[in-house]
Structure 1
Amino acid sequence: APSCPVCMEPWTSEGEHRISCIPCGHVYGRSCLERWLTQRGNASATCPQCGRRFKHKDIINIYAPEVAVPNNDLEKQLRFCRQKLESLEEVVLKQGKLLDEIISEKNHRSADVGVSKRQKIAEHSDGRTYLEPSASASAASASGNSCRFVLLKELSFDGARVMGIDASNQIILASGKAPGVGGEHVLRKISMLSSHEAHTIQLPPDTKVVKDICILPGGSALFASLGRRLSLFSMTTNSVVLECNLPLPAWSCSAHDSDSHRIYAGLQRMAGFWYLILVSIQDPCIPWLGYLNIWSIHYTLSLITVVPERFFQLLP
C-alpha cells in the first residue's frame, strides 16, 4: 500500500495520519507535516522533497478512499497483448484463405470425377467417346490463368530421404544426415507456421538410415530404419519414447486404422518374400511375423488381417 515518504507508514483516509498535501503538490501524512512544523517553531517549514516553504494553514486534507501509483508495467503489458492479438489475427486470416483455396480445389476435383463418370456412361451407351471439358479446365480457360505454385521457402538438408507431414499441427518431419564425413542420421523438425530454421534431432546410436515415416494421432510419429528398429517418436518432447528391435532391416512402417496400439513394419526381402511384422505398443517385446510377396506395406494392410495365432491370412 502507498505510504508516507517521511515516516514510511501507510496513509489513512481519516484520523491524525490522514492523506494531506501542501501547496507544492507533494503528499504526506498530516501528523508528519504537523510534527515537521512543530520542530520548526510552528511558523513555517520547507517541503522535505522540493524545499518549498509552507505554513500550517497551507495543509490541505485529501478526501480520497485510496491513493494509487501509476503502473507503467501494466501499460507495457497491454501494448504487448494488443500486438500479439494483431499477429494472431493475421495468422487466422492467412489460414482462412488457405482453407478456402483447399475447399475450392476439392470442389474442382469432385466436379472432374463427375465429368469422368458421365463420359464413361456415354461411351457404354452409344459406343462413341465424348470428351467433356473438366470444371478446372473450364475455369482456367475462362479466367485465362492456370493454377500456379509459388516457392515460399527452401531448406537444404544433407542426405534427406523421407518425410512425414502432421497437417493438424503444421509440422514436417524429415530424415537426414548430420553434416560431415560419417555423420549420424538425424531427424529434422520444421514448423510451417514459423520462419525459423529446422530443428535437428539426434537419433539413438546405430539407428542408420530412416526409410519411412508415419505420422500418428496425438503428436507422435513412427519411423522404420535400416538399423533393424521400429521407433516411436514424440514430437512434444522431441525424443524416441519406444524402440522395437527387428530381425531384419525395416523399409516401411504404418499404423492400424482402428487399433491405436498396433503398429506395422515392412522388413527387407529375404528368400523371395517381403516380411511384414506387427508390434503391439502395449507389449513391444513380442512381435508377430508374417510374409507376403508384396512391395508396399500400405497396400498390404488393405489386403490382410492379423490373427492371434501369429500368422497372416488373406481376406476372401
Structure 2
Amino acid sequence: MVPSFLCFQCPQCKKKCSMKSIRVLYASRIVALDVKLQKKVRSLEAKCSSFKEKSDDLSAKRVEWRKKEADLCMEVHYLKERTRHLEGLLESAQSRPLGSSMARWGCRGEAGLGDDVEQEFHQQGSSISFMLQKDIQVDGARIFDVDTSSQILIIARRLSGMGTMNVLTKMSLIPSHEKEDIHLPVGFKAVKDLRVSPHARIVLLASLGKKLSVVSTQSNNTVLTYDLQAAAWSCSWDLSNSHYIYAGLQNGMVVQFDMRQTMRPVESITGLTDSPIHTVHSLSADSTVSCGVKGVLTASSVGLCHWDFGRSGGRPYLIPESENQGVCISLAYGPSRDDIVASFRPKIEFSGDLTISQPTLSASTSISGEGVRGSHVLYKRVGGRYEKLGATCANVSGIRLPKSAIVDGVSQNPLFASADEVTSELDYLAAWPRIHCNYSQLNSSEVQVGI
C-alpha cells in the first residue's frame, strides 16, 4: 500500500495516483494573438512599400529632370553664342560695302589659270565671314559626311592596336557633341568613300575589300552588302530615286545597284580607261533626257566623264576640256544649280632617257609632294551639254586625292570649299565671294571639325 504522503490526485478527474503514474507532458508554445495589432502592422508595411515606390519614382524623375536641365542650359549657351556670332556677322556685313569681297575666275576657254587671262567674269555678292568656334579631335578619322536632318557627323575611323578595326562614329553637331560607335564586321577593309543618304537615315560605304555596304545609323546595323569585281573607290546615292546606288571601282568601271535586288548589279559599264574612279556624283533629273535614263558624273585621273544608266548601249564620254587640264584629283557638284568644280594638279613630265619609275618633276611640282600649283575649273551643266566657265590658280595636293564641296545656303550664291595645301587654310572660292578662314590640315590620325 502506497504511503499517503506519496499519493497524488489528478487535477482533472480527481483520482488518486502514484509516482509511477506521473508523466511529463510537453505542450506547444502558447502565444496570445492580437488580431488588431497584426492588421496594423500589415497596413504599415504596405504604406512603407508604397512610399518606397514613390521615392524611387521621384528619384528617377529627378535624374531625368537634371539631365533635361543640363541639356537646356547647354542649348541656351549654344544659342547665346550663336546669337553673338550672328550679331557680329551682321555688324561686319553692315560695315562693309556690298560686293567688296569677290573672287575671280579665268574666262571661258583659258587654261592660263588666272594671271594671264585676257578677260575675267565675276559677280558681286554680300560679304561673308566665318569664325572657328571649336576643334574636335577624333582619333583614326579617315573621311566623314554630314547628316543634316539628324544634325550628326558620320565619321569613318580606322583604329589601331590589337588588330586593326574599322568603325563608324556618330557625333552630334549640338553641344556636348555626344559620340556613338558603329562597329563594322570583322575583316572589313578600309572605307574609301562614305555618303549619307538624302532619303533616309542610312549610310553608303565604299570599301577597298571589294564591298559596297549600306549601314543604318538608326539601328547601327549593316542593312545590305554587295560583292564587287574590284575595290570600290567611290559611291553615291541616286538623287531622284532612293532605291538606286552607284559605285566607282578601281578598274575604271561604274556599277548601279537597286536595293530591292540584293543579288547582282542592275547595270555595269566599263570606263574609257582602267584608271580608278575616285569620285561619283548622281546628277539631278534632266528634262531633255528620256525617261528612265539616269545621269552620273565621275572623276578619275584622266578627267571628268558622263555616264548614262538605263540607256541601251550607252557609253561614257569625257567632258570637253577636262582631259587637258592636268590630273583630276577632286570633283564637287552642286545639284541645285548644276554647278561643277574640278580640281587638277599638273601632270608629271618624263624625260626621254628615264624610265617611268624615275619621273622628272616640272617646275610647278613640289619636291616634297605636299603642295603644288594647280587649278580649280568651273563647269556648268546646261541640258545635255557641259560648258567650261572659267579657271583659277590654287595650291593643291601633290600626292593625295582631297575632298571638295559646293555649299548651298551660305549666301545668295553657292560657295566652293577646298583646302589650300601650302597655307593650310580652307578656301571658299566661286564666281562669288572668296573668303579665307583658319584651317588645320587633316592627317591620318585625327580630323578637326569646325563647329
Contact 1:162 1:174 in 2 (8 A): yes
Letter in 2 for 1:224: A
Using the alignment, how far apart are the partners of 1:255 and 1:279 within structure 2? 10
Letter in 2 for 1:155: V
Task: Give the RMSD, CA atoms, in angstroms.
Answer: 4.6
Using the alignment, how far apart are the partners of 2:223 and 2:165 within structure 1? 19
TM-score w.r.t. length of structure 1: 0.57
Using the alignment, how far apart are the partners of 1:91 and 1:155 within structure 2? 22
Letter in 1 for 2:168: L
Letter in 2 for 1:284: T
Using the alignment, how far apart are the partners of 1:130 and 1:265 within structure 2? 36
The answer to whether structure 1 residue 169 and structure 2 residue 153 are counterparts is no
Aligned equivalent of 2:279: 296
Aligned with 2:70 (options 76, 87, 95): 87
Any unmatched runs of 5+ in structure 2? 1-35, 45-49, 105-118, 284-295, 298-305, 318-383, 386-451
Using the alignment, how far apart are the partners of 2:125 and 2:145 within structure 1? 35
Contact 1:306 1:312 in 2 (8 A): no
Structure with the higher fraction of residues in helix conformation: 1
Letter in 1 for 2:196: I
- The change in CA–CA distance for 1:254 and 1:310 in structure 2 (over 3 A counts) is farther
Aligned with 1:283 (options 261, 271, 295): 261
- The change in CA–CA distance for 1:295 and 1:174 in structure 2 (over 3 A counts) is closer
Contact 2:237 2:282 in 1 (8 A): no
Q: Secondary structure at the match of 1:286?
A: coil
Higher relative contact order (CA 8 A, sep 6+): 2
| 1:199-214 matched pairs, under 5 angstroms | 199-214=180-195
Aligned equivalent of 1:32: none
- The change in CA–CA distance for 1:133 and 1:201 in structure 2 (over 3 A counts) is closer
Letter in 2 for 1:231: S
Contact 2:102 2:123 in 1 (8 A): no
Contact 1:254 1:264 in 2 (8 A): yes
Aligned equivalent of 2:436: none
Letter in 1 for 2:268: L
Contact 1:264 1:277 in 2 (8 A): yes
How far apart are residue 312 of structure 1 and its match? 5.3
Residues 104-132 of structure 1 show CA distances to partners (whole Å, capped at 9, x for unaligned) of: 979x99xx9x8389999xxxxxx999998
- The change in CA–CA distance for 1:75 and 1:103 in structure 2 (over 3 A counts) is same
Contact 1:289 1:311 in 2 (8 A): no
The answer to whether structure 1 residue 135 and structure 2 residue 124 are counterparts is no
- The change in CA–CA distance for 1:5 and 1:72 in structure 2 (over 3 A counts) is farther
- The change in CA–CA distance for 1:182 and 1:130 in structure 2 (over 3 A counts) is closer
Letter in 2 for 1:285: M
| 1:79-228 matched pairs, under 5 angstroms | 79-94=62-77, 96-97=79-80, 115=99, 135-136=127-128, 147-157=130-140, 160-180=141-161, 182-193=163-174, 195=176, 198-216=179-197, 217-228=199-210
Contact 1:119 1:132 in 2 (8 A): no
Residues 16-42 of structure 1 show CA distances to partners (whole Å, capped at 9, x for unaligned) of: xxxxxxxxxx9xxxxxxxxxxxxxxxx
Contact 2:233 2:279 in 1 (8 A): no
Q: Secondary structure at the match of 2:39?
A: coil
Contact 2:206 2:235 in 1 (8 A): yes
Aligned equivalent of 1:17: none
- The change in CA–CA distance for 1:310 and 1:69 in structure 2 (over 3 A counts) is same
Q: How many residues align?
A: 235
Using the alignment, how far apart are the partners of 1:193 and 1:234 within structure 2? 21
How far apart are residue 299 of structure 1 and its match? 7.1
Q: Secondary structure at the match of 1:89?
A: helix
- The change in CA–CA distance for 1:117 and 1:77 in structure 2 (over 3 A counts) is closer
- The change in CA–CA distance for 1:187 and 1:132 in structure 2 (over 3 A counts) is closer
Any unmatched runs of 5+ in structure 1? 12-25, 27-67, 121-126, 138-146
Q: Secondary structure at the match of 1:90?
A: helix
Using the alignment, how far apart are the partners of 2:162 and 2:58 within structure 1? 54
Using the alignment, how far apart are the partners of 1:129 and 1:96 within structure 2? 39
How far apart are residue 255 of structure 1 and its match? 0.3
Letter in 2 for 1:203: L
Using the alignment, how far apart are the partners of 1:218 and 1:278 within structure 2? 19
Aligned equivalent of 2:216: 234
Residues 160-179 of structure 1 show CA distances to partners (whole Å, capped at 9, x for unaligned) of: 32112222223222222232
Aligned equivalent of 1:251: 233
Q: Secondary structure at the match of 1:298?
A: strand
Contact 2:101 2:125 in 1 (8 A): no
How far apart are residue 5 of structure 1 and its match? 5.7
Using the alignment, how far apart are the partners of 1:224 and 1:128 within structure 2? 39
Using the alignment, how far apart are the partners of 1:295 and 1:193 within structure 2? 32
Aligned with 2:310 (options 303, 307, 314): 307
- The change in CA–CA distance for 1:310 and 1:86 in structure 2 (over 3 A counts) is farther
- The change in CA–CA distance for 1:130 and 1:246 in structure 2 (over 3 A counts) is closer
Using the alignment, how far apart are the partners of 1:281 and 1:128 within structure 2? 46
How far apart are residue 241 of structure 1 and its match? 1.4
Contact 2:169 2:181 in 1 (8 A): yes
- The change in CA–CA distance for 1:236 and 1:73 in structure 2 (over 3 A counts) is same
Structure with the higher fraction of residues in strand conformation: 2
Q: Secondary structure at the match of 2:139?
A: coil
Using the alignment, how far apart are the partners of 1:172 and 1:289 within structure 2? 31
